[in-house]
Amino acid sequence: MSAFRSRDLSSPWRHVDYVLLGVTLLVATFGLVMVFGASRHFSAAGSFVGKQAVFMVLGLAIMVGLALIDYRRIADWWLAIYGGSLILLAGVLTPLGSLGDWGTKGWYVVGPVAFQPVEIAKLATVVAVAGYLGASRRVDLLRLGGALFLLALPMGLTLLQPDLGSSLVFILMGVGMLVVGGVSLRYLVILALVGFLGVFGILRSDTLDQYQKDRLTASFNPEGVSAKARYNVEQAQIAISSGGLTGYGFGKGPSTRLGYVPAQRTDFIFTVAGEEFGFLGAGSLLALYSVMTWRIWRVAQLARDKTGTLLSVGVMSMLLFHIFENVGMNLGIMPITGIPLPLVSQGGSSVVASCAALGLVQSVHMHRYA
């Protein structure tokens, strides 16, 4: 581990992924502007943007910190990290936790700051699975079972909140990491079948509340869902579509400005981009995310070991699912779940967690020769 201005060619400082860093900063800036745009018509606009900026700075600091630490050291500590996140995740179900926007008991509220432990748990689970699977070359049935257990535990706790959207993230993260982690094709096919049957069974059973089923099926069955869910989907599409090619201009989108789109600072913030900046703006944001995803994929490819690859793939799967689900929900092709848009949706936990995830990826990139 070297000091600043090292002449060592393998020094981490020489291998910062500047493209990833640049894209991260651009998306974060875009996000701040969007939060301002979405909240400028509320009296507390300043405090929303101010808080978001503070979390952004905090998140970037954590990102830099994590990038500087060798990811292998972090992976060595996976059990502690994972265990800590599970405790936090379980604690939220006790009277210490609070209810959030969508009726999920997933928050700790301390004074003016609300903290959502599932955001940390997702990343911790990525670290845990990467550390666990990265430790051995081959993935036998036992190790697969272990990995599934690592995924299932936080996912189960999240379902108890009940936060359906976030628990789906664990599945998608798991799929990405298990596929790349070398699980044999046979097991993967069996897992996929079990998964499909499971989803079908859950939808048929009473495990989920009606509103959750409604939200999940909104884009496939618009007639059968509640008026509120349909209203959200419709308003988001109206706002985005009427933005057209270039949008109404910053702060001028009627649907968002007049409050027709619900949760527009958080889950539906993409509508603000779509309505006010049009296809050029919203498309640019998507393009930035594409570049971000490509760079993370590239890091996974360049990683010096399996742990690094799995860390990157885990983060990529997590972010990709967040982006696709959130934007897809805004565009009316995915069901409504309370999943934030990384680095853009207002919300401290999400911002900090996304930054930390990108910090880990940078660490994998920076330490590939070290």
Q: Residues 298, 316: contact at Cβ < 8 Å? A: no
Of the ranges 2-10, 69-77, 123-131, 290-298, which one interacts with another protein (CB under 8 A)?
290-298
Window contacting another protein (CB under 8 A); options: 27-35, 190-198, 316-324, 335-343: 316-324
Determine, following the binding rule CB under 8 A, whether residue 20 of this chain makes contact with another protein: no
Instruction: Tell me if 336 sits within 8 A of 233, measured CB to CB.
Output: yes
Token duo for residue 332: 């009316």
Q: How far apart are CA 269 and CA 220, in angstroms?
A: 22
Q: Site for another protein (CB under 8 A): which residue of 149, 200, 301, 369?
A: 301
Q: Enumerate residues 212-241 that contact another protein by CB under 8 A.
A: 227-228, 230-231, 234-235, 237-241
Question: Is 309 a residue that touches another protein (CB under 8 A)?
Answer: yes
- Say whether residue 242 binds another protein (CB under 8 A): yes
240 with 330: CB under 8 angstroms? yes
Shortest spacing between CB 241 and another protein, in angstroms? 3
- What is the chain's length? 370
Per CB under 8 A, does 336 bind another protein? Answer: no
**Segment lying near another protein (by CB under 8 A), choices 2-10, 71-79, 80-88, 174-182:** 174-182
Binding mask 250-279 for another protein (x = CB under 8 A): ----xx--xxx-------------x---xx
Residue 94's Cβ-count burial label (10 Å; 0-12, 13-18, 19+) is exposed
| Residue with smaller CB distance to another protein, 59 or 131 | 131
| Cα separation of the two ends of the chain | 8
Q: In angstroms, what is the minimal distance from the CB of 297 to another protein?
A: 5
**CA nearest 135: which of 87, 79, 175, 93?**
79
CB-wise, 11 or 271, nearer to another protein? Answer: 271
Closest distance of CB 261 from another protein, Å: 8
For residue 107, the SS3 value is strand
Helix (H, G, I), strand (E, B) or coil at 11: coil
Nearest C-alpha neighbor of 336 from the set 241, 256, 228, 248: 228
Residue keyed to tokens 């994972």: 82
Given 129, 320, 339, 351, the residue binding another protein (CB under 8 A): 320
Q: How far is the CB of 274 from another protein (least distance, A)?
A: 7
Q: Is 43 in the site for another protein (CB under 8 A)?
A: no
Least Å from the CB of residue 221 to another protein: 17
Q: Which residues bind another protein (CB under 8 A)?
A: 137, 176, 179-180, 182, 227-228, 230-231, 234-235, 237-245, 254-255, 258-260, 274, 278-279, 282-283, 286, 289-290, 293-294, 297, 300-301, 306, 309, 313, 316-317, 320, 323-324, 327-328, 331-333
